[in-house]
Amino acid sequence: DLAMYKAKDSGRNNYSFFTESLSTHLHERTDKISALTEALENKSEFELLYQPKVSADNEQKITGVEALIRWHSNSLGFVQPDQFIPLAEETGLIVALGEWILLQACRDFLVLKKQGCDLKTVSINVSNIQFQRSDMISTLEKIIADTGIAPSEIELEITESYLASDENSVPEILQKIRKMGIKIAIDDFGTGYSSMSYLHKLPITRVKIDKAFVDGLPDNKGNLAISRAIIGLAKAFDLLVTAEGVETEPQRQCLENEKCDEIQGYIYSKPLMLDELKSYIDSRESIAALA
Ligand code: C2E
Ligand code: CA
Ligand code: CA
């Protein structure tokens, strides 16, 4: 049966042999789905880490943080987001998980602010499926009402594939979200189905240059040309630009020269637990005060 499904999956007029690995793969998948379903009951296996985003000017001030999920599964051990987000999307479990992420990230952000951290925004990754299978507008309205976060403190990171999807509702939903005051960033810009027309047709506020382009800076001519073009394009449409996955000083310097607004990456910090983040922010503030 497994072999038949695999053959059908690969299109018409195909055949496929049964292999042990096919069976193992299916078992792993079912195990992961049931573990994920269980974990969603009380969410205690999930944790949000936060990676600081820093202004690319002389001040190098922390402007905000991006929430990144981690799953410490009781039965499977640590599972990377790349290993369960796609599965959560396929199964629709991302809707419940995504709501928890939104709520938790807003709560954590307000805790930090209460402790005196001067942060402008919390960036939260949202999956296309959350838009397709749930009412994002009411979810966001409810979270804002329940937590008291200012809508302008929330930035949603969406993907190009969502913008490129043929659903007619995309511009309308994004307009509504933007009218609420929430900010909208395009994640991994330039890696997917890039179209420049999104930038002026849709109410986007920021683009994020993917690590794949940042990696080659400053020497790789192609990557430099792409990064420069993205920054130029963004500026022309009055959008902010963040470069992600910045690891080295030459990369950072190059992006600063190119007038990129914000830097995110291991050069400053890996994603941190909430208390680690608080200490990181405090230590940077005291260095700034001395300078
Ligand atoms: P992303 O949104 O593009 O996030 C950036 C990824 O790059 C993160 O991996 C981050 O830890 C990593 N990273 C940041 N700076 C550096 C660096 O300087 N060097 C290197 N090598 N890596 C760096 P992570 O946390 O494993 O997340 C992977 C992907 O999983 C994310 O890519 C995002 O697409 C997805 N994801 C993570 N958290 C969430 C979430 O809460 N909701 C949704 N829908 N997706 C999420
Ligand atoms: Ca992201
Ligand atoms: Ca990325």
Nearest ligand to the C-alpha atom of residue 211: 3
Q: Output the CA torsion sign for 104, 169, 209, 207.
A: negative
Element (H, E) at 66: strand 62-73
Q: What is the DSSP string of 4-65?
A: HHHHHHT-SS------HHHHHHHHHHHHHHHHHHHHHHH-TTEEEEEEEEEESSTT--EEEE
Q: Give the tens place of pLDDT for each residue, 235-282.
A: 999 999 999 999 999 999 999 999 999 999 999 999 999 999 999 999
Give the Cα separation of 273 and 48 in Å (integer): 7
Angle between helices 274-290 and 94-114 (to 10 degrees): 40
* Ligand 1 pocket: which of 125, 207, 272 to mutate (most atoms within 8 A of CB): 125
Under the phi-then-psi rule, with left for phi > 0, alpha for psi from -120 to 50, and beta for the rest, what region is 31? Answer: alpha
Rounded Cα–Cα distance for residues 51 and 64 (Å): 8
> What percentage of the chain has pLDDT greater than the value 70?
99
Cα(230)–Cα(187) distance, rounded to whole angstroms? 12
Q: pLDDT tens for residues 107-138?
A: 999 999 999 999 999 999 999 999 999 999 99
CA distance 151 to 154: 5
Q: 230 and 186 in contact (C-beta within 8 Å)?
A: no
Q: What is the whole-number distance in angstroms between the Cα of residue 283 and the centre of ligand 3?
A: 27
Neighbours of ion ligand 3 (CB under 5 A): 188, 210
Report whether pLDDT(11) > 80. Answer: no
Ligand at minimal distance from the CA of 252 is: 1
- The string of pLDDT tens digits covering residues 152-198 is 999 999 998 888 887 788 889 999 999 999 999 999 998 877 777 88
Which two three-digit tokens encode residue 187? 């994640």
Q: How far is the CA of 156 from the centre of ligand 1 (A)?
A: 14
Q: Give the number of the ligand closest to the Cα of residue 215.
A: 1
- Give the atom of ligand 1 at the shortest distance from the alpha carbon of 244: 15
Residues lining ligand 1, Cβ inside 6 A: 51, 67-69, 80-82, 85, 101, 125-127, 187-188, 244-247, 265-266, 271
Average pLDDT over the chain reads: 93
pTM above 0.75, yes or no: yes
CA of 209 to the centre of ligand 1 (A): 13
pLDDT for res 137: 97
